């Protein structure tokens, strides 16, 4: 039985080739399983991460807490100077961030005259309203009000084709 052969002037061991091929196959399987698990784990805002009812509650909270600076129609205002919260400017500003990062930023800096005073449940409702107003579709479960639960939800400006 032949345990080696010559390929391009080099003596190669059959055993070494079999072991090397098996190792490469196992690595490919592990990489495929890891990327499949990662893609199943991560959500985007386009996967229905809030409910319509939550957005309705957020509309009321937004009107009470945010509209003075950002306008009732979310188109912003020059005085006192809140930026618009809808359309391409808003979407591109947050594009690529996790909802946990957005939640933390908004929660720590808003409202401008009294930062970090919005309760977390209300903040999740306001963010749901902003998603809804920017034509990001609702789903069957509410947007969580715990940043740890928002870490795996990615804000993307446009839906991805899967």
- Residues 138 and 100 placed together within one structural domain of the fold: yes
Task: Tell me the pLDDT of the chain averaged across its residues.
Answer: 83
The pLDDT value given to residue 64: 96
Please check whether residue 90 lies inside any domain of the structure: yes
Count: domains in the chain: 2
* pLDDT score for 80: 77
Q: Is residue 84 part of a domain?
A: yes
* Radius of gyration for the chain, computed over Cα atoms and rounded to the nearest angstrom: 25
Residues of the chain above pLDDT 70, percent:
73
- Is 131 part of a structural domain of the chain? yes
Domain match, 16 and 63 both: no
> Looking at the structure, do residues 75 and 33 belong to the same domain, yes or no?
no
Collect all residues with Cβ–Cβ distance below 8 Å to 56 and sequence separation of at least 6: 129
Closest CA to 44 of 128, 137, 159, 134: 159
Quick one: 36 and 77 in the same domain? no
Asked, for residue 159, whether it belongs to a domain, the answer is no
Q: How confident is the model over 31-79, as pLDDT tens digits?
A: 444 443 344 458 999 999 999 999 999 999 999 999 999 999 999 988 8
Paired tokens of 119 = 């309760």
Task: Specify if 121 maps to a domain.
Answer: yes
Same domain, 31 and 63: no
- φ, ψ for residue 43 (rounded to 5)? -115, 160
* Same domain membership, residue 28 and residue 49: no
28 and 47, same domain (yes or no): no
Q: How many CB atoms lie within 10 A of CB 149?
A: 14
Same domain, 83 and 122: yes
Of 9-18, 60-69, 76-85, where does mean pLDDT reach its minimum? Answer: 9-18
User: What is the average per-residue pLDDT within 127-153?
Assistant: 98
Q: Is residue 31 part of a domain?
A: yes
**98 within a domain of the structure (yes/no):** yes
Co-location of 108 and 93 in the same domain: yes
Q: How many CB atoms lie within 10 A of CB 5?
A: 11
d(CA 76, CA 91) in angstroms, rounded, equals 14
What global pTM score does this model have? Answer: 0.74
Q: What is the residue range of 128's domain?
A: 43-154
């Amino acid at each position: 039985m032949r345990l080696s052969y010559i390929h391009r002037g080099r003596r190669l061991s059959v055993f070494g080739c079999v072991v090397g091929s098996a190792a490469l196959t196992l690595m490919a399987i592990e990489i495929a399983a890891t990327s499949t698990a990662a893609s199943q784990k991560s959500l985007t805002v386009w996967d229905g991460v809030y409910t319509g009812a939550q957005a309705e509650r957020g509309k009321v909270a937004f009107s009470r807490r945010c509209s003075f600076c950002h306008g009732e129609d979310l188109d912003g205002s020059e005085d006192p100077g809140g930026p618009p919260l809808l359309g391409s400017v808003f979407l591109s500003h947050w594009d690529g961030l996790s909802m946990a990062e957005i939640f933390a930023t908004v929660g720590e800096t808003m409202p401008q005259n009294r930062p970090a005073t919005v309760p977390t449940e209300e903040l999740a409702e306001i963010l749901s309203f902003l998603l809804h107003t920017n034509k990001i579709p609702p789903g069957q479960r509410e947007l969580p009000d715990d940043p740890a639960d928002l870490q795996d939800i990615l804000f993307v400006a446009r839906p991805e084709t899967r």
